[in-house]
Structure 1
Amino acid sequence: MRESPLTALLFMFVPFSLTAFGGGLSVISGIQEQTVNQLGWMTAQEFLNYFAISRAAPGPGSLLSSLVGWHVAGLSGALVATLAMFVPSSLLCLAIAVLWRRYKGRRWLSILEMAVAPIGVGLLIAGLLSLAPLALSSSSLVCVGLASFLLTALKPSFHPALILCAGAAANASVHFFIQFQ
């Protein structure tokens, strides 16, 4: 028997919710693998577009789950995916906070904190590496990405929304120019 899209979204996002050490970006590679390569719910370009929208929107980066849910099953899919991504990790954080408070100052707790940090960093790097081939598929995207990086690094006070708008305008201009040549 084939499971419904809502059940598939639930079973996909709950494990990601519980393993998102370092935030939503840490599970991007897994979400991309599942939605594009395993389940075929969307193309790599559609995933990259949804990722860009989720990063531009205010709020946590794991809002990508809402967009994936919407793509797969409309409003009900967005609700299921969002709840599946946020409720389990929130409950886990609440339970850990209670335990953290109870065992505060214990040596084993300090060791555990140091052990979890590299896991979060590794998951973040994996997420970025999974998106790199999608973004590197276009020379205009590479140029816009490098220019955005340099501007952010050299002028950190520059508002990210302005950089985002400038990058989108530059990329759209290049594609417009290419299309009408």
Structure 2
Amino acid sequence: MNLQKLLDVVLVFLPLSFLTVGGGQSIVADIHRQSVEVYGWMTNGQFMDLFALSRILPGPGALLVTLVGWQAAGLAGALLASAAIFIPSSLLVFALAHVWTRYKNTLCIRAIEAGLVPVAAGMVLAASCTVLRAAEGGAWAWGVAAASTLILMFTRISPLLMLGVGAGVFLVAL
């Protein structure tokens, strides 16, 4: 067992635990950067496979972290990555819950909440762009993503229908 690789897994995911503002999706861009570009644990294609698998399987979106840990360092890597992503932020939320509830209507807490909304949206947008780049779908992928985003923002069309239309576009384009 490579202890340095296990340490690297912990050092990647422990700080990311505190950045999951907006959910696990918000850290996908940095997970990709660390696992593909910095540490070379996998290729873009392997990352996309793990990303797709994490979205198909039931459970939290942060399942991607467990899969990346597995790819990097086997079962021990999966367990350590999961612990590093869930335990620190859970302890922080537990510790802050009382304080947050007690002061929830103060100007400071309302300002923090208002400030976190655009940060979370930006992190989720960065994750989406990272996934599009890693998928290497080219202009078609970006066009389908942009059109789907606009349609879903301004209509009540089912996202499942948009998935079907997107698949159809790529079938025709091939």
Q: TM-score range by the shorter chain?
A: 0.7 to 0.9
- Judge conservation of contact 2:22–2:121 (CA < 8 Å) in 1: yes
Q: Which residue of 1 aligns with 2:91?
A: 91
Amino acid at match of 1:156: S
Looking at structure 2, the residues matched to 123 and 100 of structure 1 have their Cα atoms a distance apart, in angstroms, of 23
TM-fit CA distance, 1:44: 0.8
Q: What is the rounded CA distance, in whole Å, between the counterparts of 1:3 and 1:124 in structure 2?
A: 32
Change (3 A) 1:134 1:99: same
Q: Deviations over 1:94-119 (max 9, x none)?
A: 12211111213212111111111111
> Which runs of structure 2 are paired with 1:36-51 in the superposition (5 Å)?
36-51=36-51
Amino acid at match of 2:158: P
Map of 2:4 onto structure 1: 4
The unaligned stretches of length 5 or more in structure 2 are none
Cα 1:109–1:13 change in 2 (3 A) is same
User: What is the letter of the counterpart of residue 142 of structure 1?
Assistant: A
How far apart, CA to CA, are the structure 2 residues paired with 1:120 and 1:158? 24
Letter in 2 for 1:95: A
Q: TM-score by structure 2 length?
A: 0.80
* CA positional deviation for 1:159: 8.9
In 1: Cα distance, 2:128 partner to 2:158 partner: 21
* CA root-mean-square deviation: 3.0
Structure 2 partner of 1:75? 75
Q: Distance in 1 between matches of 2:45 and 2:4?
A: 25
Q: Give deviations 1:40-68, integer Å, cap 9, x for gaps.
A: 11001101111111111112211101001
* Count of residues in Structure 1 that have an aligned counterpart in Structure 2: 166
Distance in 2 separating the partners of 1:159 and 1:58:
21
Q: Residue 19 of structure 1: SS of its match in structure 2?
A: coil
Determine what percentage of the aligned residue pairs are the same residue. 35
Q: Is the 8 A contact 2:132 2:141 kept in 1?
A: no
Give the 5 Å matches for 1:28-177. Answer: 28-135=28-135, 137-138=136-137, 142=141, 149=148, 153=152, 155-156=157-158, 158=160, 167=167
Supply the distance in 1 between the matched residues of 2:7 and 2:122 (Cα, whole angstroms). 29
Q: Secondary structure at the match of 1:61?
A: coil
